[in-house]
């Protein structure tokens, strides 16, 4: 699932014209380097296959490239650097011809990294809307539906601006169901959602969006639009790949593996309670003997923020899981985002053990109060149980493992 392994097999043949590489997401810089290293002229810079481009990634996620410019910008909250990159991409595709190729490198996080307000709106409007969405408990599909309809670049608009050039998107999917047009809000793919869909999301989650923003929602290029006819995609990595690899490792180590699926959604604490019940039932049935079992799941849970604490969805899931397990013996768990960043914090997630709540109480920490305040980070930081990896330069969403020993 690393870009250096999943991108090269998906590279297209060079076009007759030029190749313009554009990208957004936490993995996009590593994807760009993989393109450079495996493009036909990688060794001799032959003029037959000219290559240039621009990708935007999260701060601290850049890697050195020679011909593709790497820009760092804000995530999960958009900033001016991302706006400048988006505008430059729209400028770069202007004037491309039928013989040219736009190679789009798309991965999770691109929605925030590529802000470009629709006419009549400002970056401040897009930033405010993004904060409402992030804290709302809306699913990633719902959030990206709204984002597409307030943008001048998302929801296929970048591909339409590049017409008549061919557009091929290489996608590392971080969305449940692997709907490519949802990854990074699909700047290069036709969008089946409508303004009415976006308004329904806003109403369902009572987002309190200002009236002037609502009046500037705009329709996106739809499937069947002639200017989208040359836009295609290839998914090069997905959550199921991570689960399959983990299950194979577990079985090779003599464990059993139960995969609950790669598209688990819902409030993090609700999902945690369901998984805890499943794990305890499995443990009860296995007390007569048998090898250890690992319960694996992927997807993207959500958190409706009502407190003032720190902590992403994986840390919140882990804390809620610990509370639901209530010290059940021989059950350990790990929950982390595969990109190394759990929400806005510096950790990927957290680990729990049968003694998690006991150790918390020994430090004077009330685990239930931390959960109520959305402060899972604070509790796990005090316990030394945060998982800190730094940027992994890939992103196939969340990964959860519960070991029933």
Tens of pLDDT along 166-203? 999 999 999 989 999 999 999 999 999 999 999 999 99
Which helix (H) or strand (E) is 106 found in, with range? strand 101-107
Q: Tell me what pLDDT residue 35 has.
A: 98
Task: List per-residue pLDDT tens for the chain, 405 residues long.
Answer: 799 999 999 999 999 999 999 999 999 999 999 999 999 875 544 456 689 999 999 999 999 999 999 999 999 999 999 999 999 999 999 999 999 999 999 999 999 999 999 999 999 999 999 999 988 989 999 999 999 999 999 999 999 999 999 999 999 999 989 999 999 999 999 999 999 999 999 999 999 999 999 999 999 999 999 999 999 999 999 999 999 999 999 999 999 999 999 999 999 999 999 999 999 999 998 877 789 999 999 999 999 999 999 989 999 999 999 999 999 999 999 999 999 999 888 999 999 999 999 999 999 999 999 999 999 999 999 999 999 999 999 999 999 999 998
Q: Is 401 helix (H, G, I), strand (E, B) or coil?
A: strand
Distance CA 114, CA 185 (A): 9
Distance CA 123, CA 160 (A): 22
Q: Tell me what pLDDT residue 48 has.
A: 65
- Residue whose structure tokens are 């050195």: 64
Q: Tell me what pLDDT residue 31 has.
A: 98
Domains and CATH numbers, the chain: 3-237 (3.40.50.10180), 240-404 (3.40.1480.10)
Neighbours of 5 (CB within 10 A): 12
Q: Tell me what pLDDT residue 279 has.
A: 97
Q: Is 345 helix (H, G, I), strand (E, B) or coil?
A: coil
Residues near 98 by beta carbon (within 8 Å), at least 6 away in sequence: 17, 164, 165, 166
Q: Tell me what pLDDT residue 290 has.
A: 81
Q: Tell me what pLDDT residue 232 has.
A: 97
> Rounded to the nearest 10 degrees, how much is the dihedral formed by the CA atoms of 346, 349, 354, 360?
30
Q: Tell me what pLDDT residue 42 has.
A: 55
Distance CA 152, CA 360 (A): 48
Q: Tell me what pLDDT residue 66 has.
A: 94
Six-digit token string for 101: 């190729």
- Supply the DSSP symbol for 182: G
Six-digit token string for 310: 């720190």
Q: Which of 86, 92, 230, 243 is nearest to 169 (CA)?
A: 230
Q: Tell me what pLDDT residue 58 has.
A: 96
Q: Is 387 helix (H, G, I), strand (E, B) or coil?
A: strand
Question: Residues 53, 204: contact at Cβ < 8 Å?
Answer: no
Q: Is the peptide bond before 164 cis (omega within 30 degrees of 0)?
A: yes
Question: Residues 317, 2: contact at Cβ < 8 Å?
Answer: no
Strand order in the sheet with 256-259: 256-259, 293-299, 398-404, 331-337, 349-352, 386-387
Distance CA 317, CA 305 (A): 13
DSSP assignment of 172-218 equals E--STT--GGGGGG-TTS-----HHHHHHHHHHTT----HHHHTT--
């Amino acid at each position: 699932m690393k870009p250096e392994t999943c991108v090269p097999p998906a590279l297209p043949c060079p076009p007759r014209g030029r190749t313009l590489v554009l990208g957004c997401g936490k993995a996009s810089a590593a994807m760009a380097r993989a393109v450079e290293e495996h493009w036909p002229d990688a060794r001799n810079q032959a003029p037959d296959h000219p290559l240039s481009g621009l990708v935007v990634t999260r701060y601290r996620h850049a890697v050195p490239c020679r011909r593709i410019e790497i820009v760092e910008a804000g995530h999960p909250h958009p900033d001016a650097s991302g706006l400048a990159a988006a505008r430059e991409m729209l400028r770069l595709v202007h004037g491309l011809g039928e013989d040219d190729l736009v190679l789009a490198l798309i991965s999770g996080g691109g929605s925030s990294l590529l802000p470009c307000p629709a006419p009549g709106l400002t970056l401040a409007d897009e930033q405010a809307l993004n904060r409402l969405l992030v804290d709302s408990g809306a699913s990633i599909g719902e959030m990206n539906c709204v984002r597409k309809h307030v943008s001048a670049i998302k929801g296929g608009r970048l591909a339409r601006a590049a017409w008549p050039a061919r557009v091929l998107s290489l996608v590392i999917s971080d969305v449940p169901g692997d709907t490519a047009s949802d990854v990074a809000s699909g700047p290069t793919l036709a969008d089946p959602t409508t303004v009415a869909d976006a308004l329904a999301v806003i109403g369902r989650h009572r987002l309190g969006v200002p009236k002037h923003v609502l009046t500037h929602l705009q329709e996106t290029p739809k499937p069947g639009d002639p200017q989208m006819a040359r836009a295609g995609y290839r998914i090069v990595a997905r959550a199921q790949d991570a689960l399959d690899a983990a299950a194979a490792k577990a079985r090779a180590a003599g464990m059993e593996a139960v995969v609950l699926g790669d598209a688990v959604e819902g409030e993090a604490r609700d999902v945690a309670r369901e998984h805890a019940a499943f794990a305890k039932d499995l443990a009860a049935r296995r007390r007569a003997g048998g090898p250890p079992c690992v319960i694996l799941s992927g997807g993207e849970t959500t958190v409706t923020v009502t407190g003032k604490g720190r902590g992403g969805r994986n840390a919140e899931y882990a804390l809620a899981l610990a509370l639901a397990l209530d010290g059940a013996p021989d059950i350990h768990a790990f929950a982390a985002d595969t990109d190394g960043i759990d929400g806005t914090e510096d950790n990927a997630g957290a680990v729990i053990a049968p003694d998690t709540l006991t150790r918390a109480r020994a430090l004077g920490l009330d685990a239930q109060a931390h959960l109520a305040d959305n402060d899972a980070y604070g509790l796990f930081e005090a316990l030394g149980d945060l998982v800190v990896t730094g940027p992994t330069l890939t992103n196939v969403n969340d990964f959860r493992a519960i070991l029933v020993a």
